[in-house]
Chain A
């Protein structure tokens, strides 16, 4: 298929349809309302479901209800909205249903701002809702990658029967870039008859299905949590994705950065190279599972003297970088989170200060 120029938010909506997800529920919030606007026109064209719910709380439970009866379903929101959805996300993870949530992050805490941010790293990667659960979190760095990740998110959420989150900063949603939608558009939905409440008569079964998250018996709750844990361990084995940049060089500093921020880091790395300073980068594409091994190996390369996490937050991913490096090198953080993205010059200055 030919490349088309598309705004990130609209491309995300289209990608879901191309992935065979014809069910979308949402509540407007900047900077991602264009997804809902786009799909309010597009879903009727493809015979899909579009519904604007009364709140993110309601929307997240519409997602739960639809997912629990076996439908492919997704929603998009931004930081404050994701906070409201976090209760349902915890329930969906506990009840082991597949669903896709897209967070086009804006600045926080509180109402924060409407400019790009990466300040929901902890919320997405470490919890957000209550209890022992994890999300598979994917972080696109371009509109093209957002499209690909959205399309992969559905089969992944079904493979693990767990919510998948696409974590993009506001720029991913707002910028226009050329995108190409993969040719093989629809993936076959997996068999959901074993667990989904899709009606006994429809699945020709005498056994009823139950979707729940309450386990009053301590052994049963522990066992459900162990089942969840086993899935998260499997994700660590099978789903870690990352990219490296300039790591063939004899770099003296290793940057770790994701999303839009990693693109600025690339520019800084190119410029430093011209000035004779080699800097490498690991760009996590999955934030959970985190590419621990890749960061550790890259930090361990002879000649590397410092590691820095560059983020549009007050320093969140840096904790995972520290955990990966395990004290073998000093780990620094540089970032901003008012909404303006750190410039290549700022990153160059910071990186030079580590030499």
Chain B
């Protein structure tokens, strides 16, 4: 394929038309994963794990082996696979309700054990699939169907910053936060996803890519408004960048002895 000239569909992506709403960023993230899998030539040894959330049917859009998890349990399933088949490339694809609420225990312990799989964490500040209820990542004062007067942080606390939380663990890992709101950030997000898979392929560490995303449907916005809201409201609270790299962790470990 001539680089940068043709816009072909990645082999790792199927022909199926997605069920995602117009303007939803799930589709963009799927494509980035598929491009990375093609570029690394790992389609034949990859197993994806679908969450319970809007991406539950993600397996319809990819062309490699897939497992469908129960709500929040994808990191435990990925652990099971990687422990018995370290030669497979495994990633979980999870929303914020799935990962930061019901599945909080599984993701923290998988990260802390340094399981050699990759997690793509889609943070859209809301429970998409069940109709826009409050998530642990919902912004202060953000209205959702279960916080109709806006998220009251005195009542339910502040939104959880997963990348920061996981980067506080002492086990070496790659933890980064990216977004797909603009072409430039999409390119960066793709680089981060590729790097995450490369760490896994090298058997190096757990890798985690949080992607600040939009849910125009449940935010009650047009796709363009949703992008603007994410930039103005989410990005100041969810700053982009690498929070943890195994290189820096290795240095820190050396410094401490």
Chain A interfacial positions (CB closer than 8 Å to B): 23, 25, 49, 51, 53-55, 57-69, 71, 73, 87-88, 91, 95, 197-202, 208-214
Contact of A211 with B83 in the complex, beta carbons under 8 Å: no
- B interface, how many residues as a size bin? 20 to 34
Contact of B67 with A197 in the complex, beta carbons under 8 Å: yes
Contact A66 to B43, CB < 8 A, known contacts A88-B70, A210-B59: no
Contact A199 to B73, CB < 8 A, known contacts A58-B105, A69-B85, A211-B66: no
Report the Cα distance A140→B227, complex, angstroms: 61
B44 interfacial by beta-carbon distance below 8 Å: yes
Contact of A55 with B105 in the complex, beta carbons under 8 Å: yes
> A59: which B residues are within 8 A, CB to CB?
76
Contact A199 to B109, CB < 8 A, known contacts A49-B83, A53-B76, A208-B65: no
Contact of A62 with B65 in the complex, beta carbons under 8 Å: no
Contact of B47 with A199 in the complex, beta carbons under 8 Å: yes
Chain B interfacial positions (CB closer than 8 Å to A): 43-47, 49-50, 56-57, 59, 62-70, 73, 76-81, 83-85, 87-88, 105-106, 109
Partner of A65, one of B50, B80, B109: B80
Q: Tell me how far the C-beta of B74 lies from the nearest C-beta in chain A, rounded to whole angstroms.
A: 8
Partner of A210, one of B66, B70, B77, B87: B66
Contact A202 to B44, CB < 8 A, known contacts A61-B80, A212-B67: yes
Report the Cα distance A198→B65, complex, angstroms: 8
Contact A61 to B73, CB < 8 A, known contacts A23-B84, A73-B84, A200-B64: yes
Contact of B59 with A66 in the complex, beta carbons under 8 Å: no
> B63: which A residues are within 8 A, CB to CB?
208
Contact of A61 with B69 in the complex, beta carbons under 8 Å: yes
Contact of A213 with B68 in the complex, beta carbons under 8 Å: yes
Q: Tell me how far the C-beta of A335 lies from the nearest C-beta in chain B, rounded to whole angstroms.
A: 35
Report the Cα distance A200→B12, complex, angstroms: 12
> B68: which A residues are within 8 A, CB to CB?
95, 210-214
Contact of A200 with B44 in the complex, beta carbons under 8 Å: yes
Contact A63 to B70, CB < 8 A, known contacts A69-B47, A198-B65: no
Residue of A nearest to B60 (CB): A210
> B65: which A residues are within 8 A, CB to CB?
69, 197-200, 208-210
Report the Cα distance A151→B8, complex, angstroms: 51
Can you list 27 residue pairs at the A/B interface with Cβ under 8 Å?
A: A49-B83, A51-B79, A51-B83, A58-B73, A58-B109, A61-B69, A64-B77, A66-B83, A67-B80, A68-B67, A69-B65, A69-B80, A88-B73, A91-B70, A198-B85, A199-B44, A199-B45, A199-B46, A199-B47, A199-B87, A199-B88, A201-B43, A208-B65, A210-B59, A211-B66, A212-B50, A214-B68
> B76: which A residues are within 8 A, CB to CB?
53, 57-62, 64-65
Residue of A nearest to B112 (CB): A54
> A23: which B residues are within 8 A, CB to CB?
83-84
Q: Tell me how far the C-beta of A102 lies from the nearest C-beta in chain B, rounded to whole angstroms.
A: 17
> B44: which A residues are within 8 A, CB to CB?
199-202
> B56: which A residues are within 8 A, CB to CB?
214
Report the Cα distance A211→B47, complex, angstroms: 10
Contact of B81 with A65 in the complex, beta carbons under 8 Å: yes
Report the Cα distance A198→B45, complex, angstroms: 8
Contact of A71 with B105 in the complex, beta carbons under 8 Å: no
> B84: which A residues are within 8 A, CB to CB?
23, 49, 66, 69, 71, 73
Contact A64 to B47, CB < 8 A, known contacts A54-B106, A88-B70, A88-B73: no
Contact of A208 with B64 in the complex, beta carbons under 8 Å: yes
7 A-B pairs with least C-beta separation? A201-B44, A65-B80, A65-B77, A61-B76, A62-B80, A197-B65, A212-B68
Residue of A nearest to B85 (CB): A69
Given A25-B80, A65-B81, 5 further pairs, Cβ under 8 A: A57-B76, A58-B73, A61-B77, A66-B81, A213-B68
Report the Cα distance A182→B85, complex, angstroms: 28
> B81: which A residues are within 8 A, CB to CB?
65-66, 68-69, 197
Report the Cα distance A25→B83, complex, angstroms: 10
Report the Cα distance A200→B62, complex, angstroms: 13
> A197: which B residues are within 8 A, CB to CB?
47, 65-67, 81
Most A CB within 10 A of own CB, among B63, B68, B85: B85
Report the Cα distance A55→B77, complex, angstroms: 13
Report the Cα distance A210→B69, complex, angstroms: 11
Q: Tell me how far the C-beta of B119 lies from the nearest C-beta in chain A, rounded to whole angstroms.
A: 14
Contact A65 to B49, CB < 8 A, known contacts A23-B83, A57-B76, A73-B80: yes
Contact of A200 with B43 in the complex, beta carbons under 8 Å: yes
Residue of A nearest to B88 (CB): A199
Report the Cα distance A63→B67, complex, angstroms: 13
Residue of A nearest to B48 (CB): A197
> A62: which B residues are within 8 A, CB to CB?
76-77, 79-80, 83
Report the Cα distance A64→B93, complex, angstroms: 17
Contact of A71 with B85 in the complex, beta carbons under 8 Å: yes
Contact of A66 with B80 in the complex, beta carbons under 8 Å: yes
> B87: which A residues are within 8 A, CB to CB?
199, 202
> A88: which B residues are within 8 A, CB to CB?
70, 73
